[in-house]
Amino acid sequence: MRRAAVFAVCTLAAVCARADTGGWTSLGSDTGVYLVGVCAPDATHVFTAGYVLEGSGMSTKPLTRVFASDDGGQSFTDISNSLANVGSLQAWTTSVAFVDPTHGFVAIGQSIQRTSDGGATWKPAAAGFPVEAMAFLDATTGLAVGDGGRIARTTDGGATWKAVTSPVTTDLWHVQVVSAKLAFAAGYDVDSDTGVPSNAVLLSSTDGGLTWTEGAGIADQGISSIFFLCDGKTGYVAAWRQADDSSTFDASLYATTDGGQTLTDLQLPEKVGTISAFGSSDLDTGEILAQWWDDAQHGHLGALGFLGHETQQQSSSGGGGGSSTTMSSNLWKVADYVTSDGGASWTKSDLGTVHVTISYSGMSGGDGSFQAGTLRDFDNGWLVGADGVVWGYRRSCGGDADCQEGYRCSQGTCSDASSTTCPTGGGGTEGDGGSTGGGTTPKKADGGAGLVEVKDGCDCNGAGALSVLWLMGLVLRRRRGEPGP
């Protein structure tokens, strides 16, 4: 199980009322598109990236696709245009990050491509290693992390990337920029045969990513998302554990008050429903893909209830005619968690009884095979995955009284009314904050809110995607371990 999110200061009665006026809903899908990243620099503009498979046989290759929405994810336009696709098996799309509606970045293998005109044109730059996640302070300064614990930094808008020393060799899958000084990264290893994660680790930087310190580790889990507040000490780490045969996934949520040096298990209540398939079993949360915290008490999680493991056929097209590729994935139900007491208790989804059908063609009854997610504030979020599936969260309202403190009702939905960012100075922060895994994210002036690594700032990864893909006999690791057939 994995993933989480957060809230702002309000009474328990307000929390319960809010639970009745918002939720996750399906926004559509597109067969053949494999989405691995999503980010939102504001509640209206949403960007997602992934790939399609083109060609047949040994000539099959992934082609990157980037999509943009200006209506909160209700519809998307392909902005791949002049994107320079690298036609090799190593060139998998892993992460997308937009700091505003015009300035964005997409990671494709060892290349990070950038746009300053909303995707009308793209320019490539070499990162020097396979990139798994990106996060940006602004349109000029950002960080990229990836395989072998490698880290790179840009100060010229992504035109060049300079490697910095990393204290670990563990693959890094997440990065969050909190301010001009503070940054955090997280990663773990993946067993190439089973997809089981291990040796999860946290890293922190207090000088804008120039130097890094290793923090707490989790021996037998992977990390699915991280979120640190402006004080640089308070943070939340969503993790998961899985069986060797992918028969079970179990989510955990940890809190830290010392910048990731130590972690405390918040004992997240996992059950969100019941599975009906050849008998009855608990539907438990297996992963937390997105989280947002307004402060140390109020949090919101975008989570997934694990239904089972399956193999799928992904179609490809091209010069040699159509063909299909066998892909391994997990089937999920979208779940939601909200807390107003720092995770001591939660208002969570009750999905009831979910009827799962198992046949030779696969499993049905779930919401999709999700790979990435983001909550850009307490009331707006998105989850994306295989076959172009997109789900959105938007809090509906009739007036400001329906929204928590610091949010206002605009055109029937709650949105963050704050325009302030992490303050200069205290807690090691400096500067005006920026985007993490999702773009520029407002933060409370009292240091009570942070930027969410998204999913992977707009650092939207497939941070990206966590799965193991079987293609022409090659095992390609992604963020979430999912063994092939």
Tens digit of pLDDT for each residue in 20-37? 335 899 999 988 899 999
Gap between the Cα atoms of 361 and 367, Å rounded: 16
User: Domain 5-477: which topology?
Assistant: Methylamine Dehydrogenase; Chain H (2.130.10)
The label of the residue with tokens 């995770």 reads 343
Q: Which residue has the higher pLDDT, 339 or 62?
A: 339
Q: Which residue has the higher pLDDT, 357 or 345?
A: 345
What pLDDT sits at residue 312? 56
pLDDT band at 90 (very low <50, low <70, confident <90, very high): low
Instruction: Kindly report, residue by residue over 93-141, the tens digit of the pLDDT.
Output: 899 999 999 999 999 999 999 999 999 999 999 999 999 999 999 999 9
For residue 88, give both structure tokens.
């090799």
**Of 154-168, 274-288, 413-427, the least confident:** 413-427
Report the share of the chain in percent with pLDDT over 90.
58
Q: What is the CA radius of gyration of the chain?
A: 20
CA atoms within 13 A on the CB side of 341: 9
Q: What is the mean pLDDT of residues 271-284?
A: 90
pLDDT band at 404 (very low <50, low <70, confident <90, very high): confident
Gap between the Cα atoms of 475 and 485, Å rounded: 11
| Helix and strand totals (H; E) in the chain | 1, 41
Dihedral angle, C-alpha 352, 353, 359, 363, nearest 10 °: 20
Gap between the Cα atoms of 396 and 378, Å rounded: 12
Residues 6+ apart with CB under 8 A from 359: none
Q: Which residue has the higher pLDDT, 394 or 425?
A: 394
Report the share of the chain in percent with pLDDT over 70.
75
Q: What is the mean pLDDT of residues 265-273?
A: 95
Residues 6+ apart with CB under 8 A from 31: 315, 387, 388
Reduce the secondary structure of 216-239 to three states and give it as a string: EEECCCEEEEEEEECCCCCEEEEE
The β-bridge partners of 142 are: 136, 154
Please give the single-letter amino acid code of residue 417.
Answer: A
How many other CB atoms sit within 10 Å of the CB of residue 399?
8
What pLDDT sits at residue 194? 82
Compute CA distances 386 → 174, 193, 469, whole Å: 20, 21, 12
For residue 12, give both structure tokens.
């328990």
What pLDDT sits at residue 34? 93
Task: Reply yes or no on whether the pLDDT at 231 is more than 80.
Answer: yes
Gap between the Cα atoms of 307 and 325, Å rounded: 23
Residue 23 and residue 300 in contact, taking contact as beta carbons nearer than 8 Å: no
In terms of phi and psi (left: phi > 0; alpha: psi -120 to 50; beta: otherwise), the region of 210 is alpha
Q: Which residue has the higher pLDDT, 201 or 308?
A: 201
Residue 368 sits at the vertex; the CA angle it makes with 377 and 108, to the nearest 5 degrees, is 70
What pLDDT sits at residue 83? 83
What pLDDT sits at residue 422? 59
The label of the residue with tokens 């680790």 reads 201
pTM of the full structure:
0.82
Task: Reply yes or no on whether the pLDDT at 178 is more than 80.
Answer: yes
- Mean of the per-residue pLDDT values of the chain: 79
Q: Which residue has the higher pLDDT, 314 or 181?
A: 181
Task: Reply yes or no on whether the pLDDT at 348 is more than 90.
Answer: yes
Cα 201 to its chain centre, rounded Å, is 17
Task: Reply yes or no on whether the pLDDT at 18 is more than 90.
Answer: no
Residue 100 and residue 434 in contact, taking contact as beta carbons nearer than 8 Å: no
Q: What is the mean pLDDT of residues 359-384?
A: 89
Dihedral angle, C-alpha 5, 11, 14, 19, nearest 10 °: 30
What pLDDT sits at residue 324? 54
pLDDT band at 187 (very low <50, low <70, confident <90, very high): very high
Residues 6+ apart with CB under 8 A from 159: 114, 123, 125
Task: Reply yes or no on whether the pLDDT at 481 is more than 70.
Answer: no
3-state secondary structure at position 14: helix
CA atoms within 13 A on the CB side of 433: 32
pLDDT band at 485 (very low <50, low <70, confident <90, very high): very low
Residue 311 sits at the vertex; the CA angle it makes with 309 and 313, to the nearest 5 degrees, is 150
Residues 6+ apart with CB under 8 A from 62: 51, 52, 53, 54, 89, 91, 92, 93
What pLDDT sits at residue 263? 97
pLDDT band at 193 (very low <50, low <70, confident <90, very high): confident
How do the domains of the chain map onto residue ranges? 5-477
What pLDDT sits at residue 421? 53
Highest mean pLDDT among 42-56, 282-296, 304-318, 409-423: 282-296
